[in-house]
Amino acid sequence: MSKNWSLILVVAFTLGYGLKLFLENAPETTPTAETKTIATFSGENNQVVDLYDLNDSRVRVAYFGFTHCPDVCPTSLAMLSAALKQLDDKTLATIRPVFITLDPERDDANGAHQYAQYFHPSIEGLSAPLTITKPIAEKYGVVFKKTELTDSQLKYTIDHNSYFYLLQPNGQLITKVPHTLNPAPIVAAIEKIQETNPKE
């Protein structure tokens, strides 16, 4: 028995010492840098628009929807429009409201922009392939899916949740405002940001 125990101890020591040497000599790992999200859309007249343009210091107020949306999107953009009309010119100049379509199959850049402009001239309409839009939408918690409509000329709809996402120029989420039938929560969120980071 004593010989067996001695053998076990020798093996255990050898394995332990070998593991120690391996860990000490293993190359240090550093966290990989987060891959920069591509946020290049098409806007009015198919102009290239970078949502995360760091040269534009305005806070983004982003809403994700689609132009064939029967009720939620029109209501939400109407509330956004009402909120914008309640802001003074100084505050309005510090924000960038954008409507981002989740249905690029039907909403090209000009279509998305014209739809957004119907609600307020400050709202940009943006479109991009889902390979670009989907990662951005999912980054902020946008949930959406294409649902076929068998008895409709529209053929399909886009089911989605409804939030206003307030973003820093680099795309970092500041806060979000859930679907509302009152512009007050949107105004309050914007004004709170202004109080926290006042602009000269």
In CATH, what is the architecture of 40-196?
Answer: 3-Layer(aba) Sandwich (3.40)
pLDDT average, residue stretch 49-67: 98
For residue 186, with 0-12 CB atoms within 10 Å meaning exposed, 13-18 middle and 19 or more buried, which class applies? buried
DSSP structure string for the chain: -HHHHHHHHHHHHHHHHHHHHHHHHSPPP-PPPPPPPP-EEE-GGG-EEETT-TT--SEEEEEEE-TT-SSHHHHHHHHHHHHHHHS-HHHHTTEEEEEEES-TTT--HHHHHHHHHHH-TT-EEEB--HHHHHHHHHHTT--EEEEE-TTSTT-EEEEE--EEEEE-TTS-EEEEEE--SSSHHHHHHHHHHHHHS---
Task: Say what the pLDDT of residue 34 is.
Answer: 42
pLDDT, tens only, 68-90: 999 999 999 999 999 999 999 99
Pairing of strands 59-65, 48-50: unpaired
For residue 128, with 0-12 CB atoms within 10 Å meaning exposed, 13-18 middle and 19 or more buried, which class applies? buried
Three-state DSSP string of 118-159: HHCCCCEEEECCHHHHHHHHHHCCCCEEEEECCCCCCCEEEE
Of 10-14, 105-109, 111-115, 128-132, the poorest mean pLDDT is in 10-14
Please state the domain extents for the chain.
Answer: 40-196
For residue 174, with 0-12 CB atoms within 10 Å meaning exposed, 13-18 middle and 19 or more buried, which class applies? middle
Task: Say what the pLDDT of residue 15 is.
Answer: 41
pLDDT, tens only, 134-155: 999 999 999 999 999 998 899 9
- Asked if pLDDT for residue 47 goes beyond 80, the answer is yes
Look at the block and give the residue holding tokens 């983004």.
Answer: 60
Look at the block and give the residue holding tokens 């991009």.
Answer: 128
Task: Say what the pLDDT of residue 133 is.
Answer: 98
Residue 10: pLDDT band by 50, 70, 90 thresholds? very low
Of 14-23, 83-92, 101-110, the poorest mean pLDDT is in 14-23
pLDDT average, residue stretch 60-66: 99
pLDDT, tens only, 116-129: 999 999 999 999 99
- For the entire predicted model, the pTM comes to 0.81
Task: Say what the pLDDT of residue 36 is.
Answer: 63
Pairing of strands 144-148, 156-160: antiparallel
